[in-house]
Amino acid sequence: MDTKTLSQYLDRQVVETPSWGYANSGTRFGTFVQDAAARSLEEKIDDAAQVQAFTGITPAIALHIPWDDSDDWPAVARYAGDRGIRIGAINPNVFQDQCYKFGSFGHPDPAVRQRAIDNHLRCIEVAAATGSRDLSLWFADGTNYPGQDCFRSRRQRFRQCFETVYAALQPQMRLLIEYKFFEPAFYHTDLCDWGQVALLCRHLGPQATVLVDTGHHAQGTNLEHIVATLLDEGLLGGFHFNGRKYADDDLTVGSINPYELFLIYNELVDAELSDDAALSAHARQVAYMFDQSHNLKGKIEATIQSAITVQESYAKALLVDRVALRAARAAMDIVGAEEVLKDAWHSDVRPLLRDWRSAKGLDPDPLAAFRRSGYEQRVAAERLARHGRAASGGGYQ
């Protein structure tokens, strides 16, 4: 791929950043506060706008309801637009309130299930008011002990709740349904893998798709194989990108296994460049989002790091010599095929990306430029004066 064509593909790369990634967050053991962390929706939008201003590939912020609630959603959309970004995926929260102790869509009590449905319906209204296309859905539902509940009954409840939500979607909207194989449920999780979600999506219809979180898999899982399968089935809706060493660690993208990230992007690019028009169109509709809550790193700096990493991985995947790869595969030349991938992986795309940023009026080194800006120090002082210091504790604040 020549430099001009590659630059045109880079122009289209978009990754949403998560509002919750800019706020103080923690683990089950405690919350570690940062003075510069955002504590209002407007401050989260301000921080997301900083990442976009320095990277040029993060023009949307995903929201979490009710963490990011508002009485005037058109005003929120205008506030974001005035800062050069837009509202991205809307994420309903049905795992935090006490009533969800035994589940949400899978709960035995129809009143609790209705409460969860109502929150999703409200999120559809939020999406309509803000111009968002996607609802990104994750459920903590499951059981901790054998015999606690009936697997089949819970599955049927999930289907019924989803049918109600799906029927309320506007034509342009999509459901991105996430899965996680464990935590917080430790015996069984209702939506535990891509197959469970794929079956659900097939039942619901074409506006239901699978969301892959790169941290939500058992050790050794072949993520690129899952991605290829979902692309082939027309079911891949989006990604939550993060990194992990053991389980869902919320680490910076590519900080642990950058080669795996490249192999995932290789499958995505292979579909994007395919001669199969339907496959190519589907690949171009995949939504990319970060899902990271940085407890130790500066939140904006970590998000900029992630943006740089996914841009590098995408660029390397675009450089794969697909003619040579097809020839090696046809000849059953295993070593040759792998060397084609490794050649692209070892390419130093940093000069190319520096040139791309300069052509866009961006600083060639986004992280260094952000650090020079003094933004973090300035807002830390402003937010301390406005809110005081946040209290430590468990979970999100």
Is 392 inside any structural domain?
no
Domain housing 165: 7-315
Question: How far is it, in rounded angstroms, from Cα 303 to Cα 144?
Answer: 34
**Domain assignment of residue 71, yes or no:** yes
Say if CB 317 and CB 288 are below 8 A apart: no
Q: Rounded to an integer, what distance in angstroms lies between the CA atom of residue 227 and that of residue 211?
A: 10
| pTM of the shown model | 0.95
What's the average model confidence in pLDDT over 29-48?
93
Domain assignment present for residue 232? The answer is yes
pLDDT band for 293, please (50, 70, 90 cuts). Answer: confident
Whether the pLDDT of residue 308 is over 60: the answer is yes
pLDDT of 175: 98
Nearest CA among 158, 145, 241 for reference residue 203: 158
Residue 356 has a pLDDT of: 97
Q: Mind listing the pLDDT tens digit for each residue in 194-227? A: 999 999 999 999 999 999 999 999 999 999 999 9
Query: Is 376 a member of any domain?
Result: no
Q: Is residue 85 part of a domain?
A: yes
Residue 393 is predicted with a pLDDT of 45
Percentage of the chain surpassing pLDDT 90? 92
Q: What is the pLDDT of residues 122-136, one digit of tens each?
A: 999 999 999 999 999
In a domain, 112, yes or no: yes
Assigned domain for 50 exists: yes
Domain count, the chain: 1
User: At a CB cut-off of 8 Å and minimum separation 6, what does 38 contact?
Assistant: 19, 22, 23, 44, 46, 47, 299, 383
Q: Does residue 334 sit within a domain?
A: no
